[in-house]
Amino acid sequence: MKIAILSRNPKLYSTQRLVQAAEQRGHSVRVLDVLRCYMNITSHHPTIHYRGQTLDDFDAVIPRIGASVTFYGTAVLRQFEMMGVFPLNESVAVTRSRDKLRSLQLLARKGVGLPVTGFAHNPDDIQDLLSEVGGAPLVIKLLEGTQGIGVVLAETHKAAESVIQAFMGLNANIMVQEFISEAGGSDIRCFVIGDKVVAAMRRQAKEGEFRSNLHRGGQASPIRLTPEERSTAVRAARIMGLNVCGVDLLRSNHGPVVMEVNSSPGLRGIEQTSGKDIAGMIIEFIEKRIKALENTTDRSRTRGKG
Ligand code: ADP
Ligand code: MG
């Protein structure tokens, strides 16, 4: 197979591991800087170009699109889809997962456990919103934050009020969420491939911090999931339409709750804590999917999806 990896930085651990795993399994692989891909969307033969070359013979594309380039990155990914290239995750699913509010709404509709969450636009509605989600302490989040930046714990009603006012004053979109204090500063990353959780880790926030992100100094360790946690993670991935993702759960008094679903989950932490070849499993998944597509129908089936 010929595989394209959309990544801005070929030196990242995750990118390097995917390249290695693909080559080990006998595939040719190319890392493309998504911002250097340009395309002709009008021709009968949709094309993608890269530094003067036409890219036209890839079998699969692995999007590793950073949050800051979601718009352009998903447009390039969609163009690969228009050309009939198999995307590890589809562009619509990536776009969906980048908006925390939209993601939680979709999960809620299917009955997946979530922290009580609210959303409002007008400062006049803050008081009512605060009581609707159960009052302080509360977590206030920017809808498009990542790596823990843009997530604030407001311990008192007054603090919540002023943080929300400040964000609204900056025209930032935020959601207001029940603080799951019983999670004790830890969350669970479930790494899903297809319809399985292939590995999981617990991330514990450093002393004095409630955000467990590894980028914020959190520590990862292996964890055994309960069957309910496993099925919650797999259902969340399916509802989001993601083949490969990281589903982040909190252990709450009312069972596992989904915090977010990440469509480009990092490989370093999960490979190191689980000791598993996750990159290899991802490539294997692509091999199986492409084989299944070739067996059932011609590849044009994947063409033309929007
Ligand atoms: P980001 O996309 O920036 O990682 P998250 O929603 O994952 O944002 O929040 C970052 C971290 O903050 C989580 O990993 C978790 O440890 C903590 N956290 C987020 N929401 C809650 C909550 N409702 N209750 C308790 N802790 C939370
Ligand atoms: Mg997170």
For ligand 1, the distance from its centroid to the CA atom of residue 249, given in whole angstroms, is 9
| Ligand 1 and 190: CB distance under 6 A | no
The first and second tokens of residue 70, run together, are 């979601």
With a CB cutoff of 8 Å and minimum separation 6, the contacts of 208 are: none
Beta-ladder partners of 184: none
pLDDT of 108 above 90: yes
Query: Shortest CA distance to 302 belongs to which of 26, 115, 27, 82?
Result: 82
**At a CB cut-off of 8 Å and minimum separation 6, what does 244 contact?**
88, 89, 192, 193, 194, 263, 265, 282, 285
Would you state the pLDDT for residue 143?
Answer: 83
Round to whole Å and give the CA distance between 166 and 162: 6
Distance CA 257, CA 280 (A): 29
- Is 264's C-beta closer than 6 angstroms to any atom of ligand 1? no
Is pLDDT above 90 for 306? no
**Which of 107-116, 118-127, 223-232, 265-274 has the lowest average pLDDT?**
118-127
Ligand 2 geometric centre to CA of 62 (Å):
21
Q: 137 in ligand 1 pocket by Cβ < 6 Å?
A: no
**pTM listed for this prediction:** 0.93
Q: Whose CA is nearest to atom 11 of ligand 1?
A: 211
Whether 259 lines ligand 1, by a CB cut-off of 6 Å, is: yes
Percent over 90 (pLDDT), the chain: 84
Please say if the pLDDT value at position 71 is more than 50: yes
Substitution candidate for ligand 1 out of 100, 187, 216, 263 with most atoms within 8 A of CB: 187
Residue 187 Cβ contacting ligand 1 at under 6 Å: yes
Strand 2-6 and strand 60-63: the pairing is parallel
Average pLDDT over residues 84-94: 97
Grade residue 103 by pLDDT with cuts at 50, 70 and 90.
Answer: very high
Say if residues 91 and 74 touch (Cβ distance below 8 Å).
yes
In 10 A of CB 123, how many CB atoms? 12
